Structure 1
Amino acid sequence: MLQDFRNNLKGTALFIVILISIPFALVGIDQIFISGNSVEGEVTVNGDKITKLEVERALEMHKQALRDRFDNLDPSMLDDDLLREPVRLRLIKEKVIAQRAHDEGMGIAKNSIVEFINGIEAFQVGGSFDRDTFEYNIQRMGYTLRGFYDSLTSSLLVTQTNAGITATEFVSNTDLADAVSLIEQERDYYYLTVPLADAQKKVDIDPSAVTDHYDKHRDRYTTEEQIAVDYIELSLDALAEGITVEEDDIRLAYEEQKASAEADSTYQLAHILFARDDPIENEQRLEQVQTKLSQGVAFAQLARDYSDDLGSAEQGGELGVLTRDALPEPFIEALNTMQEGEISGPIKTDSGTHLLYLTKIDTTSFDDYSSAKPVIEQQLRRALAETLLPEKIELLREDSYNAESLYKVAENLGLQAATSAPFPRTGGEGIAAHPVVVKAAYSSDVYGEGYASDVLELSPTRAVVIKRNAIYPAKPRSLDEVSEEILSELKTEAARAIVKAKGEDVMRRLGEGESIEAIAKDEGMAWQVSIDTRRFGGDVDPEIRDQAFTIPARASLPHAIGFFSRHGDYIALSLTKIENGDAANLAGEQKAKLKAAVQRTLANQAFTGYEESLVAAADIESD
């Protein structure tokens, strides 16, 4: 249980890292701090308040986690209105669990919390906890020190409760047998297909039917209402392109990066140390070693015979592989002039006098200044743009509020405004490809009142403000424009009726005792059989397999069902065998994995039930 608890703590640490990475300025959460809404209640649970800030913070964290999980997810698909209630409910669940934990006398030791905080990489500098970094990051998240401590304590209590409940769940032999019976169950079924495409080839639609259909349903054949919007897009890339970086700043950054790369270089070294109390003796022994080196005696042998460093002498003076920051300054000065295989002259340090043998250098390659300059210049531009972006967003938000023209706003801010092509409620191209833009465009404020929108997030580094330019009402489409569309609809409708009638006739014959194979041969239809098919996987059509497994396990066999496939074909299926899985047939490793999966499922069900019971009994009021 303790190990499970420790593993779950990783999730809490990840939550903190995700929260720190959220671009709050981009989504306007800073306004909550400024307006004082950080203490305004969103909901009260058993007398304890969940603030608007807590909800906004959890909402943005949830959206960021989704972005991190799904690489190609369009952030504009993350609708606040859609996600807010599930996030709010999650906070309520966490609140009632923490409250119950407190009531039951549970707690987290202060030293455990301190140890946990110290171990979070986001709060560290050079691998060690840094208080300034810690305080800076929790302030970015909108926490006071006390507030962060209390929030972390509650999160750890929830984690501890989860670990305690899930660790007590066990799987009985009956539970395992029931799971194996369903998961390893095998079924045999036969099916035939009545193709929609074949029926469509036989359908002939009279042109007058197209005209009659158009006359009766003119209201269905209109263009979509469309809107065109003016917009100002602000992006990190565009902002970076407009920034000029001084040559001196590029040169300084180059030297810093070069020094950092050099610091990452490693040196395989050996040395001989002369550290006797008598300086004259040291000098004599040094001369003896240098003479023998000139005569070809191996450095390692001389280190064993002469070195006063007892820790390395027996290893031939080997010091191992070291980085520059692990070496004394006199060593570094000597290494700056040495090549692999060279032996230094006498080097004096606080320890004594050394002869240094450089056996190998592993250096991090670094481009010369002219080659590295464009990359570093772009890095500096982007870094400056990241600093300026929140300020620019806030200026855009303020200047566009109640603005008569976004083109005027763009001129004042040194940005570019543009007008989109008209697009319907289903979206379009360019800026209209983003659902968040389409939703805002057809909102009552933009579409109805003609106001500018709030700043809309297109991605973590792109934002936009839009304003209505023109509305294009829906208008009737001519018969010539829609005749092919109507013809296709009528042919599909007629073909579907043919397929349905044929499928129902097949089902009648199955009900009278005929087999799929016999009917298919009689009608010249294609048929297939699937033997020993399992519920998951297999080289079979998943849509048909899933339908076969909808038939109750206690159904009398053969059992026939009919349904339309997603392509419009009619499928007649006859289930002929059901054989339940047997745990005795599973290998030991397979059985162990399945048992672990069942245990996780039961544990999650137990914890979910505990959550739901606490929420049901709680006094919850929206503020």
Structure 2
Amino acid sequence: MLQTLRDKTSGWIATVILGLLIIPFAFFGMESYLTQKVDAYAARITQPPAWWPSAPQAWPVSYLWKTHDIDAQDYRQRLETMRMRLRDEQGDKFDSKAFESAENKRQILDDMIDEQLMRLAAESDGIVVSDAEIRQEIQQIPDFQVDGKFDADRYQLLLASQNPPQTPRTFEQTVRDNLQYGLIPSRLARSGFVTDMELDRLMRLLGERRDVSFVVMPPIPADTAPITPAQIQAWYEANARDYRSPETVRLEYVEVDASTLPVPVADEAALRKLYEEQAAKFSTAEQRSVSHILVQVAADASDADKQAAEARAKKLADQARVAGADFAALARANSDDAGSKAAGGSLGWLAKGGMPGPFDDAAFAMAAGEVRGPVKTDFGWHVIKLDELRGGTRQPFEAVRAQLEQELVEGGRERAFNELSGKLVDAVYKNPNSLEPAAKSLGLMVQTTPAFPRGGGPGIASDQKVLRAAFSDTLIRDGTASDPIELSPTRTVLIRVVEHKPEAALPLSQVGNAVVLAIRADRQRKAAEAAADTLVKAAKASGLPAAATAATLAMGEANDVRRGSAVPSPEVVEAFFRVPRPQDNLIPVGKTEAGGQFIVFAIRAVRDGDIGQVTAEERDQLRQQLSQASGFQAQKAFVRAARGKYQIKVAEDRL
């Protein structure tokens, strides 16, 4: 049988078949048949070979394309990092639902895609970051500095304290990558510039002033025309989003408030014990007014110089001890302490521990008027005189009794608050599906809130931390109690969602009256706009003054109006500057709506801003702002162009 098999596989047909089988093995390898590959990317970026930019992404040419994946785990880590940063920055204003929106998640992934594209562009252009640039960048990071200078020990300590810990090598590689992919966009952002002609033109526009005539259209009479059921149904269907009940929750909660706890009794013994424990708080330390003469000795001085300095100090000390000697004059003439020499050696009032050890010990062992020395310190030899002493004082118990009583009461109430809060949490954790048993065991009351939307409600429902917890998926889905929520340092609450109603469409039978009012308001607005359009048409034909007179409408004027002016209103002024300038003796006419009324206006005159009134500082500031904006636009354009060179696939189900 083996001979027969050999005969059958030795012909030219068998050779062709074997050759065809070799092709897929050459492209895929045996491992593609033996293993199963599971994709775990959040986004995949593919690019054609550099030598064939127009290569089709079809088999087998697609295997020539390079693939760069953004791992889903890296994306989730970036998402969590952003969540923590925004929560720290925004505090109670942080909106977890908005952060979890598909738009926000996609924006974070797009940022990662752009970073990868910039990295690929840098590699393609042969951009290399030198070790010196990396060292310079790291040394400029404030967290690695001590007293404004880079500290290698602090650098390694902070890297080791990261979670997970980092080595200098891995951190340096991260810095290298960031510098590499950020080099092109950062240089583009700095490349923007503005010519003097562009700057002058913009300043003339920014300082532009306009003279305007305007007519405020009178209110339109209320709509009273009949509304058919078909019109009501059509409006309801076309504006269904306006007729929905918001998502709401109703809570039960248990609150622990320190201000409502019984006031602890402050007995006399406890007050006196607290007084003794805080004796330093109610006492002032003894102080001494000291003068000195310093004979300075360098640390590397020779033995002969040290002996000479000591001898000189002894001589000065003997002179100072002579009855009637002027210590201040001796100090001014002989002291090496530049800081106190001019003041006759006076160091002012000193507390214990304010000077080097031997000096301090001597100064606080002297009597008033006494001179001691020489006393040796690291600075040299000192001759010391005690000018005056001021004994320490201590407030009597009766003077601080009320303060002690308040502290004792507040401390006792705080301990009671912490103890009760801890017991409540422990009891709730034992039975998280209900607050009643825990509250009953501790003599607390279970309270409830009315149903409220995400925007909040009365009482605790106005607190952002409560709102975040109340509308969290966990509490809504499981119906369990929350972790303790701190409303203030002395007030905490545990909540549980007892009722959740998702957003839902309101039936027409319930909102019929609101629909009718909306239809009438829409009719009234359209009638007002039609009247304004009629006046605009007439003003274009005969001028606004004549059109207003013919319609018996009052006309007002606003002269020398500047951009951003608040009069008549910011919205109306913005409309004034949206219309073009008068040309060929034709006065432009426009309309706008503000405060529920239409305004028809005509631009009578336009005057450019006087650039001669702009200071050099204002001019430089505007140039810098415009240059930054121009550079930023160049950066965005470069990123958009880079996206066009690659195929980008996003795994939406992994976001």
Mapping 1:18-29, distance limit 5 Å: none
Which residue does the alignment assign to 1:404? Answer: 433
Which residue does the alignment assign to 1:144? Answer: 166
Q: Distance in 1 between matches of 2:622 and 2:42?
A: 43
Which residue does the alignment assign to 2:78? Answer: 54
Matched to 1:595, the amino acid is R
Mapping 1:42-81, distance limit 5 Å: 43=43, 46-47=68-69, 49=71, 50-67=74-91, 74-76=93-95, 79-81=98-100
Which residue does the alignment assign to 1:186? Answer: 209
2:322 counterpart of 1:291: yes
SS at match of 1:512: helix
Distance 1:429 1:513, change over 3 A: same
SS at match of 1:106: coil
Q: Distance in 2 between matches of 1:562 and 1:172?
A: 36
Q: Distance in 1 between matches of 2:395 and 2:184?
A: 52
Shift of residue 542, structure 1, vs aligned partner: 0.8
Q: Distance in 2 between matches of 1:150 and 1:451?
A: 47
Matched to 1:228, the amino acid is R
Which residue does the alignment assign to 2:618? Answer: 590
CA displacement 1:342-396 (0-9 Å, x = unmatched)? 76642623333321578999x9x9999975897899899999x99xx9x999x99
Which residue does the alignment assign to 1:228? Answer: 250
CA displacement 1:513-571 (0-9 Å, x = unmatched)? 132x4444565544332333333346442111111222245877322222322x21111
Q: Distance in 2 between matches of 1:577 and 1:301?
A: 83
Which residue does the alignment assign to 1:106? Answer: 129
Deviates further, 80-89 or 596-605:
80-89
Which residue does the alignment assign to 1:116? Answer: 140
Matched to 1:513, the amino acid is S
Matched to 2:382, the amino acid is T
SS at match of 1:192: strand
Matched to 1:90, the amino acid is D
Which residue does the alignment assign to 2:18? Answer: none
CA displacement 1:259-295 (0-9 Å, x = unmatched)? 9x99xx9999752136773767744531321336x45
Q: Distance in 2 between matches of 1:268 and 1:101?
A: 69
Distance 1:112 1:352, change over 3 A: same
State, as a whole percentage, how many aligned pairs show the same letter.
17
2:357 counterpart of 1:329: yes
CA displacement 1:136-178 (0-9 Å, x = unmatched)? 6874665534555544554555666555333333222343244
Contact 2:313 2:383 in 1 (8 A): no
CA displacement 1:35-80 (0-9 Å, x = unmatched)? xxxxx9755663464342233113321343345xxxxx62347732
What TM-score does the superposition give when structure 1 sets the normalisation length? 0.64
Q: Distance in 2 between matches of 1:51 and 1:416?
A: 45
Distance 1:408 1:423, change over 3 A: same
Mapping 1:320-359, distance limit 5 Å: 327-333=355-361, 345-346=371-372, 348-350=375-377, 351-355=380-384
Distance 1:553 1:467, change over 3 A: farther
What TM-score does the superposition give when structure 2 sets the normalisation length? 0.61
CA displacement 1:102-129 (0-9 Å, x = unmatched)? 6510246353255234x328x7699995
Structure whose CA Rg is larger: 2
2:185 counterpart of 1:166: no
Which residue does the alignment assign to 2:557? Answer: 529
Unaligned runs of 5+ in 2: 1-39, 46-67, 265-269, 297-305
Which residue does the alignment assign to 1:301? Answer: 329
Q: Distance in 2 between matches of 1:233 and 1:210?
A: 53
Distance 1:288 1:55, change over 3 A: same
* Pairing partner for 2:579 from 551, 555, 564: 551
Shift of residue 452, structure 1, vs aligned partner: 4.0
Mapping 1:181-580, distance limit 5 Å: 181-196=204-219, 199=220, 203=222, 226-231=248-253, 271-273=292-294, 277=307, 282-291=313-322, 294=324, 297=326, 299-307=327-335, 313=341, 316-317=344-345, 327-333=355-361, 345-346=371-372, 348-350=375-377, 351-355=380-384, 371=403, 399=429, 403-407=432-436, 418-424=447-453, 427-433=456-462, 449=477, 451-452=479-480, 467-470=496-499, 492=521, 496=525, 499-515=528-544, 517-520=545-548, 525-537=553-565, 539-552=567-580, 557-565=586-594, 567-580=595-608
Matched to 1:558, the amino acid is I
SS at match of 1:120: helix
SS at match of 2:451: coil
The two structures, once aligned, show a CA RMSD in angstroms of 6.3
Distance 1:446 1:302, change over 3 A: closer
Contact 1:205 1:490 in 2 (8 A): no
Q: Distance in 1 between matches of 2:443 and 2:148?
A: 40
Distance 1:272 1:66, change over 3 A: same
Q: Distance in 2 between matches of 1:443 and 1:42?
A: 25
CA displacement 1:388-433 (0-9 Å, x = unmatched)? x9x999x99x959x95335557789999864322224654223433
Unaligned runs of 5+ in 1: 1-39, 68-72
Q: Distance in 1 between matches of 2:567 and 2:214?
A: 16
SS at match of 2:452: coil
Q: Distance in 2 between matches of 1:95 and 1:237?
A: 56
Shift of residue 601, structure 1, vs aligned partner: 1.5
Which residue does the alignment assign to 1:17? Answer: none
Matched to 1:529, the amino acid is E
SS at match of 2:307: coil
Shift of residue 228, structure 1, vs aligned partner: 1.3
Matched to 2:543, the amino acid is E
Distance 1:476 1:284, change over 3 A: closer
Q: Distance in 2 between matches of 1:326 and 1:532?
A: 69
Shift of residue 460, structure 1, vs aligned partner: 11
Q: Distance in 2 between matches of 1:76 and 1:456?
A: 19
SS at match of 2:542: coil
Contact 2:160 2:166 in 1 (8 A): yes
Which residue does the alignment assign to 1:605? Answer: 633
Contact 1:270 1:358 in 2 (8 A): yes
Contact 1:436 1:456 in 2 (8 A): no
Distance 1:337 1:508, change over 3 A: farther
Q: Distance in 2 between matches of 1:611 and 1:369?
A: 69
Matched to 2:579, the amino acid is I
CA displacement 1:572-617 (0-9 Å, x = unmatched)? 1222334455756644343333222211221222233334444554
Q: Distance in 1 between matches of 2:442 and 2:69?
A: 47
Q: Distance in 2 between matches of 1:149 and 1:256?
A: 51
